[in-house]
Amino acid sequence: MASILIKSIKTLVQVGKHNTPMTSPVKGADMKTLPQIDNAWLLIQDGLIHDYGTMDNCPENADQIIDATGRMVFPGWCDSHTHIVYAGSRESEFVDRINGLTYKEIAEKGGGILNSAKRLGNTPEEALVEQAYTRLEEIIGFGTALVEIKSGYGLSLKDELKMLRVIRRLKEMTNLTVKSTFLGAHAFPAIYKENPEEYMQLILTKMLPQIADEGLADYVDAFCEKGFFSVEQTERIMEAASKFGLKPKIHTNQFNCMGGIQASVKHGAISVDHLEVVNDEEITCLLGSNTMPVLLPSAPFFINDHYPPARKMIDAGLPVALATDFNPGSTPSGKMAFVVSLACINMKMTPEEAINAATINGAVALESQSSYGSIEKGKTGSVFITKRIPSIAYLPYSFGSNLVDKVILKGKLV
Ligand code: NIG
Ligand code: FE
């Protein structure tokens, strides 16, 4: 029995009350409440959270004891939306944007997703594993415990399979919990420009069956947006995927409201992601659903676009989750704490709301709320210990620092 006792914790954050497990999304006004215990201890045993309490009844023995005086303990971040497997980088597009081109104009010129697809096609599997693993190590250091990774830079049967096999290998290499999503419908490759239906058929009749057959994906995604996949095409993909047991998590409403949210809700999507633009009808639609709105504020930060209307959504009673969108084009960063800062600064979310969004609601967006997203008996022993900090609000306030001191994943000190 391997055990770690963390004692004299200044504040144990996002901690459930005994016997009432936190397994539902935190919505609306409840998002302002972040349960915590001051002057606490936490015992992790055999990879799981075993127990916790206040220092007046602290256990004495454990294989490893960590003194957390002045420091806080959080459940590991739940990053429910990333594209961490990619080849190389796209800083030339970053410079193009400085010189006046928009993200969409760069994509129309064959840059953007197609640029990354070309690079990925020319990169062997081994090198992709190595590059992505380095990124995973980085986000572990930032405190992430649960992460979703999408395909979508392959855009051919061979290369989509290659990406998903890389993700499968990553799952075996790390104590982060990794979920994989098939995003063959990320962009139409240039060779199908005149005949997009041919690429649709490739997704529907070749990619989906083989990916399902090899068990390579946990979810399916599509980029539902003008110039990418229409609502009708997205619906056909969701419908076909459901026959293979793959539930949707859909990129939509990044630039336009075109019905992507309504279609995703209709098909029982676990989440709808981006949502830089959302109208009243879409908020009403989400209120009547179990679909989690996932906001990715480091994307509009990086491409200088406007931010999702988080305040309006939460005030209407919705839950929201926060994720990084770590990818080479719109967000070359996997730092959840920075996303939390952006949510506070640019979307007027309180620190408590943003931390709920980055933990329990992120876990819900990956159907992992029974094991991640809060500190509760029986959940996975994946937490981070901060440096000395005066308050919870100091975390998003101090946006340039990495305040994570120690990381424990599945009961092991990293
Ligand atoms: O979520 N919007 C679509 N896909 C990614 C960006 C992909 C890229 O630019 O490489 C996103 O922002
Ligand atoms: Fe994305």
CB of 286 sitting under 6 A from ligand 1? no
CB of 328 sitting under 6 A from ligand 1? yes
Token pair recorded at residue 347 = 């979307």
CB of 116 sitting under 6 A from ligand 1? yes
Q: Is-contact 52 41, C-beta < 8 A? A: yes
Phi/psi for 338 (5° steps) reads -70, -40
Predicted local confidence at residue 1, as pLDDT: 64
Q: What is the pLDDT of residues 70-114, one digit of tens each?
A: 999 999 999 999 999 999 999 999 999 999 999 889 988 889 999
Token pair recorded at residue 344 = 């506070």
How many angstroms is it from 82 CA to the middle of ligand 2? 6
What's the pTM? 0.97
Instruction: Say if strands 404-409 and 383-388 run parallel, antiparallel, or are unpaired.
Output: antiparallel
Token pair recorded at residue 68 = 């957390």
Ligand 1 pocket test, pick from 251, 255, 304 with the greatest ligand atom count within 8 Å of Cβ, gives 251
Rounded Cα–Cα distance for residues 325 and 104 (Å): 17
CB of 251 sitting under 6 A from ligand 1? yes
CB of 223 sitting under 6 A from ligand 1? yes
Q: Which of 269, 395, 268 is nearest to 339 (CA)?
A: 395
User: Domains in the chain and their CATH numbers?
Assistant: 4-75+374-413 (2.30.40.10), 78-364 (3.20.20.140)
Predicted local confidence at residue 19, as pLDDT: 55
**Protein residue closest via CA to atom 12 of ligand 1:** 330
How many angstroms is it from 284 CA to the middle of ligand 1? 26
Q: Which atom of ligand 1 is found nearest the CA of 223?
A: 3
Q: Is-contact 156 121, C-beta < 8 A? A: yes
**Protein residue closest via CA to atom 5 of ligand 1:** 330
Predicted local confidence at residue 109, as pLDDT: 85
**Protein residue closest via CA to atom 8 of ligand 1:** 329
Predicted local confidence at residue 23, as pLDDT: 86
Rounded Cα–Cα distance for residues 212 and 232 (Å): 22
In the chain, which residues have pLDDT < 70? 1, 18-20
Ligand 1 pocket test, pick from 325, 326, 333, 339 with the greatest ligand atom count within 8 Å of Cβ, gives 325
How many angstroms is it from 382 CA to the middle of ligand 2? 25
Q: Which atom of ligand 1 is found nearest the CA of 90?
A: 10
Predicted local confidence at residue 110, as pLDDT: 84
Cβ-in-10-Å burial (0-12, 13-18, 19+) of 305 comes to: middle
Predicted local confidence at residue 20, as pLDDT: 62
Average pLDDT along the chain = 97
